[in-house]
Structure 1
Amino acid sequence: MTGSRVLALVVAHPDDDAYGLAGTVALHEDDPGFRFVLVHATDGGAGQIDPSYPPVNEPLGRIRRREMEAAWTAHGRPPDRHEWLDYDDGAVAQVPFGELVERIGGILAQERPDVVATFGPDGITGHPDHIAVGAATDAAFTGLRADGGPGLQRLLHGGVRRSTWERWNGSRVRHGLEPWDEGRVYDVRPVPDDLIGMEVDVGSVAHRIVAGLMEHRTQRHVVSPGVPPDSEEDAGWARSVSVEPLVIAWPPRQPGAAVLGDVFEGLD
């Protein structure tokens, strides 16, 4: 790859960024001009804590900020720019939409990333914070793209193939966990297989994705429920993150178009 390539990821909470694009970041880390921009709407301070985590004597949000930094250090390619918007966890959907668009859009306007990734309308888990961040990022992307300036060539949404979701749900049952209900908030929601327009093979760096995920220790019950740390199941965990599926929200994808294999594939 020649020239500059900027990738921006806009999410709600620490650990949201640990899925979906961490492998892509690792694959491109040595590309000339590669730049990774990460935006968090909130520090996740209102979340639950894994029952196995030691008692805490400081705000959870402060711990989760440190976990996020440790995760990208363990991964090996921290963001070139990282912004906290500092909204309250669980209340991002109550932020005036125009304000959220302006905050996110201001960062995107400064960076003019080639590719922007965020949540789709389902928020992957139906979490209101996820849905609000995704909608605001979409609006900011659309508004900036209309000015004719550089960058903003592709908008991506994280997603889970229904066929994969069904396989993972079977694994949850085998581990004695309640299966996901796609209509229940906080449970993973699938998208139809044919909406996935991009699948990045990140198997060669899957161990780095897992290394990052492992640093989100307060969220182990969410990140990998039912999988004990340092167990043989961790190998299966690496396999489960070896592909990064994405919905191409912009430009419009033609029905039957080939599934792309990289976030920058086909861009100018």
Structure 2
Amino acid sequence: MAEALGEVPDRPLRVVAVHAHPDDETLATGLALAHHVARGDRVHVITCTLGEEGEVIPIELAHLEGDPALGPHRARELDAAMARLGAEHDYLATGSSRLTKPRWRDSGMAGSDAAAHPLAFAGAPVDQGAELLAERLGILLPDLVLTYDQEGGYGHPDHIQTHRVTVAAVAALPERLRPRLFAVLTPRSWALEDRAWLAEHVPAGNGLTVPGGEDPFPPSVVDDTLVTHAVEDPAAVSAQVAALREHPTQVTILEDAPAPYYALSNDIAARLPGREGYAELDPETGALLR
């Protein structure tokens, strides 16, 4: 049985989630963020880029794809999503600019033109990003830090870089100030249950693909024994859905089933199951603690 993500009986927890692009915070850790806000904990999100290279779903916003205006637009989406979750937010940057703009930009997928940009986050020196983040963590003093596993969830270069930077930042803190560090992971049994739910409930002919039980999983789906902690709170799904609705360039929420589900620009249906799995990381190495 997975443990609760964090318990401090005598005061509210301080939780920080570090993410690569706007919308990642709600897709990957939105349930935990909503759950901890509802508990009265202090929740803070740090975003590393504006997601300038993201694909755009709605036809009426298609003109933003590949346009410099997409980054600021996604920043506004992020502001609205944070208001829905009740979380505080800033960017990986210095001084007052951390409130409006990150130091680096979206790198796109590996091999893209964006990956060669001089400000691409994936190509930034890890120690520079870690220094900025460690400074911020030293002020926020979190009990828990949430981010991606070594594979960045699904292999995006900015997600992998976010993992590296976050691990290095936590390791750089004095031991007395170090938070517990967690990566988002999904137990294989949960992933199979989610696909079975989608196959049963997603209507045919709505233009989405429902992945089959034998289709490959992303790297963040792992053996159940590797997932040591969890947030299970179906009541928090409504806040997660409300926040996802504020990211319309990236996420489509559908309600033609017994519970809301979503799709990204790949048109693959995905469930919002009211649970998230985590594993604690060694801040010295970034490896899973067993």
Distance 1:243 1:162 in 2: 13
Distance 2:163 2:78 in 1: 20
**2:43 matched to which residue of 1?**
36
TM-score of the pair, normalised by structure 1: 0.77
TM-score of the pair, normalised by structure 2: 0.72
Q: Are 1:124 and 2:119 counterparts?
A: no
Distance 2:84 2:289 in 1: 35
Structural mapping, 1:162-241, within 5 Å: 162-169=188-195, 171=198, 176-177=208-209, 179=211, 181-182=216-217, 189-220=220-251, 228=254, 231-233=255-257, 235-237=259-261, 240-241=272-273
**2:87 matched to which residue of 1?**
78
**1:88 matched to which residue of 2?**
105
SS at match of 1:66: helix
Q: Are 1:103 and 2:112 counterparts?
A: no
Structure 1 residues 62 and 36: alpha-carbon distance in aligned structure 2, compared to 1, 3 A threshold = same
Checking the alignment, whether the CA contact within 8 Å between 1:126 and 1:189 is kept in structure 2 is: no
Checking the alignment, whether the CA contact within 8 Å between 1:124 and 1:160 is kept in structure 2 is: no
Structure 1 residues 63 and 19: alpha-carbon distance in aligned structure 2, compared to 1, 3 A threshold = same
SS at match of 1:215: coil
Structure 1 residues 208 and 31: alpha-carbon distance in aligned structure 2, compared to 1, 3 A threshold = closer
Shift of 1:167: 4.1
**1:14 matched to which residue of 2?**
22
Which ranges in structure 1 are unaligned for 5 or more consecutive residues?
Answer: 255-268
- What is the identity, as a one-letter code, of the residue corresponding to 1:102? E
Shift of 1:232: 2.1
Aligned residues: 237
Distance 2:22 2:209 in 1: 24
Structure 1 residues 178 and 26: alpha-carbon distance in aligned structure 2, compared to 1, 3 A threshold = closer
Distance 2:172 2:70 in 1: 35
Shift of 1:27: 3.0
Shift of 1:111: 1.8
Distance 1:172 1:214 in 2: 23
SS at match of 2:186: coil
SS at match of 1:219: coil
SS at match of 2:175: coil
- What is the identity, as a one-letter code, of the residue corresponding to 2:281? A
Distance 1:62 1:100 in 2: 21
- What is the identity, as a one-letter code, of the residue corresponding to 1:206? V
**2:57 matched to which residue of 1?**
50
- What is the identity, as a one-letter code, of the residue corresponding to 2:137? L
Q: Which whole-Å deviations, capped at 9, do the CAs of 1:6-33 have from their partners, x for residues lacking one?
A: 111111000110034333333333656x
Q: Are 1:154 and 2:183 counterparts?
A: no
Structure 1 residues 178 and 92: alpha-carbon distance in aligned structure 2, compared to 1, 3 A threshold = farther
**1:242 matched to which residue of 2?**
274
Q: Which whole-Å deviations, capped at 9, do the CAs of 1:36-93 have from their partners, x for residues lacking one?
A: 2211110101111114443446611111111111112233x131x4224421101321
Instruction: Kindly report the root-mean-square deviation, in angstroms, between the aligned alpha carbons of the 2 structures.
Output: 2.8
Shift of 1:244: 1.6
